[in-house]
Amino acid sequence: MKHSTGEAAGKGNYRCILCSEIIILKEDSEKLPACPRCDSTKWIKTDSNPE
């Protein structure tokens, strides 16, 4: 399922669909930002851990 910038998609790891940058939302109320690497606004929730 794809998620968009500004959406409170729930805590977890999200991967940018364009450049594969991983971000982590730590709170359910936290909103997805634009991708810090490529400015994309589309994300997909992932199980991968960036560390």
Residue 20 lies in a domain: yes
CB 1 within 8 A of CB 45: yes
Residue 28 lies in a domain: yes
Kindly give the residue spans of alpha helices, DSSP state H, lying in the chain: none
- In a domain, residue 51? The reply is no
pLDDT tens column, 11-20? 999 999 999 9
How much is the pLDDT for 32? 98
User: Residue 37 sits in which domain range?
Assistant: 2-46
Give the pLDDT score at 5. 97
The pTM assigned to this predicted structure is 0.87
Residue 17, helix vs strand vs coil: coil
pLDDT, residue 10, reads: 95
CA atoms within 13 A on the CB side of 22: 10
Give the pLDDT confidence score for residue 18 in this predicted structure: 98
Q: How many domains does the chain have?
A: 1
pLDDT digits (tens, 9 = 90+) for 1-51: 899 999 999 999 999 999 999 999 999 999 999 999 999 999 999 986 655
Q: What is the DSSP letter of 11?
A: S
